[in-house]
Structure 1
Amino acid sequence: MNTYLNGLFNLENKVAVVIGAGGHLCSEMARGFAYAGCKVAILDLRLEKSQLVEKELNELGFNDVISVAIDVGKKQDHIDALKQVLKV
């Protein structure tokens, strides 16, 4: 990729927050962000599902991954999730 495009699309060391990442589509998005060099926060109502995705990514060598439980309908869950993501 040329320098201009790399400057536009380089995701190295960025943080990707993927809500619903315990599901099929969003878990693939989380994998894509990891392969692009992002630190990935996997958020889902079902913590055990997001932890499975985290484990898969860890086994692939991606260690900058966290799982966070969130109910998107609850404001406090958003606040708590943000605090955890900011630690990444």
Structure 2
Amino acid sequence: MEKLFISPSKYVQGEHVLQQSAEYLKELGTKVQLLTDSFVWDMLGNDYVKYLKEARIGCCLGGVFRRGIFRGDTRAVTEAGGSTD
């Protein structure tokens, strides 16, 4: 079975990079789907969603943020995250 992974050709890392990420994300589009575990979500999830909204980057559906916990199964991500339209 063939496996394929495609990602943007840019990787950014550094202190406070999430609060500077809008400029990079806007190069890719206007909506994002966040994948995280509960530990990271509890640490910064709500603050990051607020930042994205202020930067006019969509990540909400009907006022309810959808988040998925990735355990290696892409079907679970699709089912948990759904569409952001």
TM-score (norm: length of structure 2) = 0.46
Higher relative contact order (CA 8 A, sep 6+): 2
- Greater strand share, 1 or 2? 1
Larger helix fraction of residues = 1
When the two structures are superposed, what TM-score results if normalisation uses the length of structure 1? Answer: 0.45
